[in-house]
Structure 1
Amino acid sequence: MSALHLIRHGTVAELRLDNPAKLNAFTAEMLRALEPYCEELERDASVRAVVISAEDSKAFCAGADILAWSELEPWDFARHWIRDGHRIFDRVARLSKPTIAAINGHAFGGGLEFAATTDIRVMSPTATLALPEASVGIVPGWSGTQRLIRLLGEPLVKEMALFGRRISAERALAAGFVAEIAEDPRTAAFEIAEQVAGTSGNAIEVAKYMIHAAAGEDRNAMIEALGAGMISPTEDRKEGVAAFREKRKPNFSGR
């Protein structure tokens, strides 16, 4: 059974990490469960926002389970563990629903990279962020040197990845990586998520596409999705499809 659960609370869905014995570190099973959950959430119109949380109060996520990848052959490690993790985390980042991470405990390595896939983050005052991969002889592999640079900036990422320093909630807030610091991040995240219920789901989705296009998050797909959304309701599209089905030349009106 996967230690990752999808729970629905009305219009808010929750993705909950549940591997406290390993400080919610990602196993291969948890990674595999995440991708179909994203597909399910994408197609569920009743879900307006997604909260990502964790069971353990000590750690939001300690990263990737070392036992899950340490015995892999070098090429399998690079081709599958790293690339699969990248693809799956990218899928979370590109959800059309707004996402909020409730960082109730330390977010290290892959756990920090997972939190970075969300739209905004709420953090416990005692939690810290870190990229400790060098201490076990590897480098960040799930966008720690890529997406995090955009969100936290080069100096803070270098502090963590090169010098092993932990970043406090206060510094994360000052850097704009965290939206707020709360004693109960999960409750605060749900309060934010529930505010989405009173807004237009279509407007929220398009706004997210536009922001991602500007930020370089899957820019090509976002631009083409916006273009498709503009062209889809036109009379010309309807005429073009009808002409194809009727095997005739289309008569476009420019509308």
Structure 2
Amino acid sequence: MSELKDQIKAASEYISKFWEEQPVAGVILGSGLGGLVEDIEDPIEIPYKDIPHFPVSTVEGHSGKLILGFMNDKPIVAMAGRFHYYEGFSMKQVTFPVRVMNALGIKALFISNAAGGMNPDFSVGDLMIIRDHINLQPEHPLRGPNDNSLGPRFPDMSEPYNKDLIYRAVEIAAMNQIDLHSGVYVGVQGPTFETRAEYKYMHIIGGDAVGMSTVPEVIVAAHCGLKVFAMSVITDIGIREEENTITHEEVLEAAHAAEPKLTLIFSELIGQL
């Protein structure tokens, strides 16, 4: 058994001691989007620091705990706080929780993030379903020897975001009068926000929003054979020519404001699983 497989086993077995349910979905919450956990019923909270081999989040707006419970009567496991490559973690560490959630038995992974908008039709507070991504991160989570029992050497990435879940999300949004965009997410390393020239470049190559997360987790989810649904909250618009300085506090504020709409869509989608 590989070292990674040993670590996944140790972490998943530790978590399973707290809960006998098999979760149908995993949820990863982005910056300022941790409020979704308030809608989880009968929650059991496990600090990351207590879980074998789990990293510990260092970013404001990420609380750093795993939550087991029910959403819309379905058993789920949620990450309140995620890990980023820019924090100094390896990509194996960043994506380790996805491996663990897969070992716990999830069938679908739901991911949220705060992102900078590059599409001129977007406004701060808008929601964007991620239909595809462009990976500009400098490291790949699958680099190195491949354990075929965890997934194939060359995973197909032609449809990393599940079309059926996207279709259902659009229906849910329409029924609840929620405006939605869909677009391409560009994943970058960070931690600096992008220059105006970088925003322009990424828009030219096909990006609608940019952020410092999500892509590694989606790659590993594809490697595991999981269905993925991901959504960005547009927390700033970087492509406009006028003065546009960005602070992390403003990002968190915009994410908090849009969170109820995102939570509703996630909850309804999970209820349909």
TM-score by length of 2: 0.28
**Bigger Rg, structure 1 or 2:** 1
Q: Which has the higher strand share?
A: 2
TM-score by length of 1: 0.29
Highest relative contact order (Cα 8 Å, sep 6+), 1 or 2? 2
